[in-house]
Structure 1
Amino acid sequence: MKKLRVAVIGCGSIAKYRHFIEYEQNPIVDIVAVCDIAEARAKESGEKYHALPYTDYKLLLKEQDIDAVSVCLPNYLHAPVSIAALEAGCHVLCEKPMATSMKEAEDMISAAQKSGKKLMIAHNQRFVASHAKARSLIEAGELGKIYSFRTTFGHGGPERWSVDGTNSWFFKKDQAVIGAMGDLGVHKADLMRYLLGEEFTDVSAIVETNAKENATVDDNAVCLLKSENGVIGTLTASWSYKRNEDNSTVIYGEKAVLRLEDDPNYGLIVQYTNGETVHYQLGKIQSNDEAGQTNTQVIDHFVSSIIHNTEPLIDGEEGMKSLNIILAAMESSETSKLVKVNH
């Protein structure tokens, strides 16, 4: 089988600890080109993966015969670079959040449709074993009617993860546009849509910048969500959890409570209302602290969708719906009003 020729645009931490490693582990992929505005970073990645280094993505797309591209750049560049790659005839895997506005997301989807190429958004929470199992239990009716949920994603902040530390683009409004909500909250918005199998219609949120002195974006947010079937719950995103990361979700139903990534030993615990408790040991959820030691399955799924010509689990439409919730939360906080989510 002919190997897929892949380029990674953006050689920061998410590329270093996820994309490069998982592409290299995939036997039908060749990393042929890398790009970063920092020449030294591009050269280092190029040497490590035997790929040609670039500092200009447009030149890379013009000169190289590429099948697929990973876009691992600051948020404000997701849309323009993804669109350029799609127009150049490449399949695109774009990091989350897919864009910084609905208009950008729509333009990305339109470019994918016109090019006939795949557009996938790297929401890795759908591939976590405990989350996949929880979705199957919910679909099978194990919980009965679902009433409520709480979901949280918080850690000490991207300075521990980003190659630029406290000077990272994550903290800068002109490059990130959205802070903790774009970094972490959008993951949980996507996860809850996936688990519940329905859309959210109403969002109320308080979004603050109170933990990071150098941040011009949000670093703490608490959101109240309501689904189309009346399920209500809270979504929290934070860069202020300095001691331990929290990536947990609890779902409260008529027949049972699901506890996901809420226990150090079990990825999923099902507490039935009849008194029975079932523990599932499904392997660890990926975390920044163990970057490179676990496979998120995102790259493998993206590659498989290209090889088998199937639609990615998180295509542009799915990415846009999850982004829409985050944008509604930001609007709610700014206006101090409940915001209706327009799908």
Structure 2
Amino acid sequence: MAKLRYGIIGTGGAGQGKHLASYAQNPDVELIAVCDIIAAKANQAADRFNVEAAYTDYKEMLREEKLDLVSVATPNHVHAPATIAALQADCHVHCEKPASLTPALVRSMIAARDKSGKKLMIGLNNRFTNWAQFSKAFVEAGSLGEIYHAKCGWKRRRGIPGKGGWFTTKAQSGGGPLIDLGVHFIDVSNYIMGFPKPVTASGQTYSKFADGQAFNPKASGYTGTYDVEDLAVGFVRYENGCTLDLEFSWASNIESEYSYVELYGTKAGLKIERGQVSIFQDFNGTSLDSKAKLKPEGPWGMAECLHYTECIRKNQEPIARPEECVLIMEIINALYKSAEKNAEVKIKL
């Protein structure tokens, strides 16, 4: 079969480090075109990955290149319009996380996908890790019993991605670490648990480090808009009685950065910390602690991109479907609304 003609919209960190780096090594893909609103970045990516065509207007790229597969790796507020345009141009789309800024925008992307007959996958890379797949299989086998509580988080000591760029501008990002980091671990927690139905959310956000003392030294831009949180905490209730406790920060006065998922089950507990899976059980009154021996993870995005091209070739549903992203965005939006109202809010699906 002919290779998939591939193009990308957005050649920043995820665009080059994940999408282009992975699809360049994919035997089913031919790199055709790159696009970035900054011409120098588009040209640099084209040179790095030996791509002939570089654009600054994604609509022009879609019109001229007749692509089969497009990655969208732009700032969050461009995800929906770029994805919809690519679907309308008869392309399969691999859109970075979060799918978009609101549940309504994600639903508009789904509608465009359904009308086009093409596929749409969201770049929720943690689902493709060995630790997530092992944990999901362990839960589905009934090894944890009833999961009645869960915790997840990703906390950085110092890691604000610049000031005045799109990350710290709510109109472009949708928020701070809750939508940036939280989308990863709220998603993978719900994915492992089998997506129970959320019913209420209570959240609080804090912005304590906007003075520039906690910025990532590698980030560019130290002046400009900073209208998002740098710490978010929350609590979600589910229809089945389960609850989720969460915390995400770009900057906190803690010992060191860490990320985790914890699941509390009636038969066993499971903890994921920095990619290591631990199981906690009891047998005849004796505590049993064990660690999963997982295969090393591959390069960032490699398994994800290989999975998606296989789905396209075999006409299969991808692991990271936008329908599930609607649920995740409903949770995130409810947490933000709760923080604004200083009260628990209902989640209407």
Give the alignment's TM-score, normalised by structure 1.
0.91
2:201 aligns to what SS in structure 1? Answer: strand
More deviation, 172-181/110-119: 172-181
Structure 2: how far apart are the matches of 1:327 and 1:202?
A: 11
Q: CA deviation at 1:285?
A: 6.4
**Map of 1:238-249 to 2, 5 A cutoff?**
238-241=249-252, 244-249=256-261
From 313, 330, 333, the equivalent of 2:336 is 330
Residues 1:270 and 2:279 are matched in the alignment = yes
Q: CA deviation at 1:166?
A: 4.2
> What corresponds to 2:152 in structure 1?
151
Q: How many residues align?
A: 329
**Map of 1:26-175 to 2, 5 A cutoff?**
26-51=26-51, 52-155=53-156, 156-157=158-159, 159=161, 165-175=162-172
1:273 aligns to what SS in structure 2? Answer: strand
Deviation >6 Å, runs of 4+: none
Q: CA deviation at 1:174?
A: 2.5
Give the alignment's TM-score, normalised by structure 2.
0.89
Structure 2: how far apart are the matches of 1:282 and 1:148?
A: 25
Q: Confirm or deny: 8 A CA contact 1:153 1:247 kept in the other structure.
A: yes
Q: CA deviation at 1:130?
A: 1.3
Structure 1: how far apart are the matches of 2:73 and 2:205?
A: 25
Quickly say closer, same or farther: Cα 1:105–1:129, change in 2 above 3 A. same
1:113-146 Cα distance to aligned partner (Å, 9 max, x none): 0000111111111112112111111111111122
Residues 1:228 and 2:239 are matched in the alignment = yes
> What corresponds to 1:208 in structure 2?
206
> What corresponds to 2:186 in structure 1?
189
1:163-215 Cα distance to aligned partner (Å, 9 max, x none): xx444311112211222111111112211211111222221100222233362
> What corresponds to 1:162 in structure 2?
none
Identical counterparts, % of pairs:
36
Q: Confirm or deny: 8 A CA contact 1:109 1:317 kept in the other structure.
A: yes
More deviation, 28-37/242-251: 242-251
Structure 2: how far apart are the matches of 1:151 and 1:284?
A: 22
What amino acid maps onto 1:175 in structure 2?
A: Q
Q: CA deviation at 1:158?
A: 5.0
Structure 2: how far apart are the matches of 1:158 and 1:318?
A: 28
1:49-82 Cα distance to aligned partner (Å, 9 max, x none): 2221000001001101100111111111111111
Structure 2: how far apart are the matches of 1:125 and 1:307?
A: 23
Q: Confirm or deny: 8 A CA contact 1:209 1:217 kept in the other structure.
A: yes
What amino acid maps onto 1:227 in structure 2?
A: Y
Q: Confirm or deny: 8 A CA contact 1:269 1:277 kept in the other structure.
A: yes
Structure 2: how far apart are the matches of 1:152 and 1:285?
A: 21
Structure 1: how far apart are the matches of 2:160 and 2:263?
A: 28
Q: CA deviation at 1:149?
A: 1.5
Q: CA deviation at 1:294?
A: 4.0
More deviation, 82-91/197-206: 197-206
From 307, 320, 327, the equivalent of 2:326 is 320
Structure 2: how far apart are the matches of 1:258 and 1:300?
A: 28
What amino acid maps onto 2:209 in structure 1?
A: A
What amino acid maps onto 2:34 in structure 1?
A: V
